[in-house]
Amino acid sequence: MSAITHHVPDAILASYAAGSLPQAFAVAVASHVSLCAHCRGALEAHQAVGGVILEDTKAVAVSASLKDSILAQLDAPYTPEPVYERNGIFPGPVMEVMQRHAPRWKKLGMGVRQDILSADAHGSVRLLYIPPGQAVPDHSHNGLEMTLVLQGSFSDETGRFGVGDLEIADETVEHTPVADPGAACICLAATDARLRFNALVPRLLQPLFRI
């Protein structure tokens, strides 16, 4: 826990608290907060601000029947929402996106594997498996990329990232994450736009692998 050194920036935590963060990033942030007491405290502080604003909001009268209708439902049976718990290296929010499956790895070459957990026009969430010493193909970003380490560690031009660390890279960052020696590095990567790989072959492969 104390080993986490790369946290969620405050503006992103506020955006997550307010519910305005795109889904893919919300998965990455919720996963980091599941691992990080520091960011959990900060997130709850943002919720406190939201609570103060809620308290100060001008009241609008509710319909006369609403209260009785709710009181009448207090004992009604209901289906509780599913609870997703951590499983091994995967925090609850990742288990939710995986729908409790084990990862379904697809080879990307050079021992690198990925599992796209969700992808649509707004963004994607995937798991990356990088063998020790291996690099994620050289790439730049159209938008924002969040990478959360779940196992092992990687290093790139900006520093070293171990379990629980969250790297945030945008258009201005061109980096080559390389898995450190030891255990294979498994990361959760969330993007709001497709990554652009700089080498020719990976670019050709991009549509194929929906990176």
Partner 1 sequence: KNDYSDETIWMLAVRDTRDRGAFAALFDHFAPRLKGFLIRGGASPQQAEEIVQDVMLTIWRKADMFDPHRAQVSAWIYQIARNRRIDIARKENRPMPEALKEEPELEPDASQILGLEQETTQLKQALAALKPEQREVIEKAYLGELTHQEISMQTGLPLGTIKSRIRLGLQRLRHELKDLTQ
Residues of the shown chain interacting with Zn ion in the complex, contacts defined by CB under 5 A: 7, 36, 38-39, 145, 169
Q: Which is nearer to partner 1, 21 or 149 (CB)?
A: 21
Residue 44 touches which member of partner 1, Zn ion, none, C-beta under 5-8 Å by kind: partner 1
Q: Which is nearer to partner 1, 41 or 182 (CB)?
A: 41
**Best CA proximity match to 87, nearest among 109, 103, 73:** 103
Residue 187 touches which member of partner 1, Zn ion, none, C-beta under 5-8 Å by kind: none
Work out whether 100 is an interface residue with partner 1 (CB under 8 A): no
Could you say which of 5, 6, 7, 49 contacts partner 1 (CB under 8 A)?
49
Please report the DSSP string for 31-71 in residue order.
Answer: HHHHH-HHHHHHHHHHHHHHHHHHHHSPP-PPPTTHHHHHH
Could you say which of 5, 7, 64, 70 contacts partner 1 (CB under 8 A)?
70
Work out whether 160 is an interface residue with partner 1 (CB under 8 A): no
Stretch that binds partner 1, among 39-47, 145-153, 154-162, 197-205 (CB under 8 A): 39-47
Residue 145 touches which member of partner 1, Zn ion, none, C-beta under 5-8 Å by kind: Zn ion
Q: Which is nearer to partner 1, 49 or 204 (CB)?
A: 49
Non-local CB neighbours of 153 within 8 Å, separated by 6+ positions = 160, 161, 162, 163, 165, 179, 180, 182, 185
Minimum separation from the CB atom of position 56 to partner 1 (A): 7
Q: Which is nearer to partner 1, 50 or 133 (CB)?
A: 50
**Does the CA dihedral 173-3-135-185 come out positive or negative?**
negative
Measured distance CA(156)–CA(180) in Å, rounded: 10
Stretch that binds partner 1, among 49-57, 100-108, 109-117, 128-136 (CB under 8 A): 49-57
Place of tokens 């258009």: 171
Work out whether 67 is an interface residue with partner 1 (CB under 8 A): yes
Residue 201 touches which member of partner 1, Zn ion, none, C-beta under 5-8 Å by kind: none
Could you say which of 5, 41, 104, 182 contacts partner 1 (CB under 8 A)?
41
